[in-house]
Amino acid sequence: MYQYLEEELDQLRTRIIKMGSLVEEQIELAFKSLYEQNLELANIVIERDDKVDKYDVKIDKQCQRIFALTQPVAIDLRLIMSAMNINNDLERMGDIAVNIAERTLNFIGYQDLLERIQLPEMTKKVQAIVKGAIDSFVNNDAQMAAEIIKLDRVIDKAYEDIFERLIHEMTENKNLIKPCSHAITLLRNIERLADHSTNIAEDVIFLVDAKIIKHRKDIDSAEDSPTV
């Protein structure tokens, strides 16, 4: 029985890591397609989302099976709860990668606009946050996760700055209203990637330290998990 649980938990962990790696790659390719105006890459991202969705369903089923058959507690329980949440976030991040890839077409000929509003800089920071969140799960590293959560503030600030720049661009040149409108959606998508990464980091802290820190600004005063 316990060996069965061990095997299930190992497999669950491995699946989350593989899914995380796939989603990270999807995001990377989506940005590459956007900034290099490469529609072929965009299509690869769109087609591969099916693979992300398959992981999502497999992980959901596996968590359900483990709950039903083994009644996990303590660290095992926290792993499954975290896996369910992380799975959900990764699946959403996969969808966002598809949304970004689908917008590639809208920015053909407008690369200078993206440069002017400094979107590539924000993109790099978000990619680092995505990687850091997934790495914190792979390494069971709550400290690393806590750092990632703090970085989200930087992204929020970048979001506001770029939003202002877009308003400025539209005010200055009415011909840019359409690409700037697309860029606002794109900006929102990129910011959401950081939010989902923060959620993953919060789950890593719950997994490692049994602390629930979501919706809290001060992660150091977070409570221990309160219920069975």
* Site of interaction with another protein (CB under 8 A): 1-2, 5-6, 71-78, 210, 224-228
User: What is the Cα–Cα distance from 31 to 190, expressed in whole angstroms?
Assistant: 10
Closest separation between CB of residue 74 and another protein, Å? 5
Task: Give 112 or 224: the residue with its C-beta nearer to another protein.
Answer: 224
> Would you say 49 or 76 has its CB closer to another protein?
76
**Burial (CB count within 10 angstroms: exposed 0-12, middle 13-18, buried 19+), residue 14:** exposed
- The least distance separating another protein from the CB of residue 227, rounded to whole angstroms, comes to 6
Q: How far is the CB of 77 from another protein (least distance, A)?
A: 7
* Six-digit token string for 134: 């997934």
Decide whether 109 or 226 has the Cβ nearer to another protein.
Answer: 226
- Kindly tell me which of 175 and 227 has the beta carbon lying closer to another protein: 227
Q: Residue 143 is encoded by which pair of tokens? A: 């400290």
d(CA 208, CA 228): 16
Q: Which residues contact 228 (CB under 8 A, 6 or more apart)?
A: 73
**Least distance (Å) between residue 85 CB and another protein:** 16
